[in-house]
Amino acid sequence: MPDVSVTWLGHASFRVDSPSGKRIYVDPWLDNPKCPENEKKPDRVDIIAVTHGHSDHVGNTVEMSKEFKPEIVAPIELKGWLGDQGADVGEMPGPNKGGTVEVDGIKFTLVNAFHSGSTPDGGYGGEPTGIVITFENDTAIYFAGDTCVFGDMQLIGRIYGPDVAVLPIGGHFTMDPREAGVALELLGTKRCIPCHYGTFPLLKGTPEELKQHAPDVEILTLEPGETISV
């Protein structure tokens, strides 16, 4: 079975192609200043996964839903809010932390994250989450969303054993490279894709700094629009 293909779209946005060819967008803010022009208008969308309600993560979810009618995976309150904005969310309520949704053989499990949370209009969107995606070939990728490091990342590693961790490293709004290094130690994950850095001058953390704090981890540094197989 083919590998999982991961494309960084800038900030915390990713396009992921599963081994069976399903196209997944995670936190699709395609208007972010680092997103390549040729990625701003998707040609197909099968699944959208959203970690929390801040506008830089909800991004273009509503517009993409109206155009492509994908399955949406988001915390229960946020999924309800997306439906209120006109997104096609179906009848199934969104999960909460610890819950798993399976779509076309791909499992999405919501896990904890430590961050603030609101919808783009200031409403309540539930608590922020991370998402562990387990693909058809059993590859597991942990998208941490926006968070600081926390001790129970060790449980995420113990229970789900992610092959790759996608971690924010920019600092200020999320953890910085020093905290991300500790996060990788707790997770026990040996490959990491850094994100949520460099979008704005305020997000100062760099992959080079992360390498200093996680010397035994393979840091998979991507340029916006670049794809890697994992």
Kindly state the DSSP code that residue 93 receives in the 8-state scheme: P
- Output the pLDDT for position 172: 97
Q: Taking a C-beta distance cutoff of 8 angstroms, is the pair 191, 220 a contact?
A: yes
Q: Taking a C-beta distance cutoff of 8 angstroms, is the pair 205, 170 a contact?
A: yes
114-129 tens-digit pLDDT: 999 899 999 999 999 9
58-78 tens-digit pLDDT: 999 999 999 999 999 999 999
180-219 tens-digit pLDDT: 999 999 999 999 999 999 999 999 999 999 999 999 999 9
For the cut 90, the answer to whether the pLDDT of residue 1 exceeds it is no
14-57 tens-digit pLDDT: 999 999 999 999 999 999 999 999 999 999 999 999 999 999 99
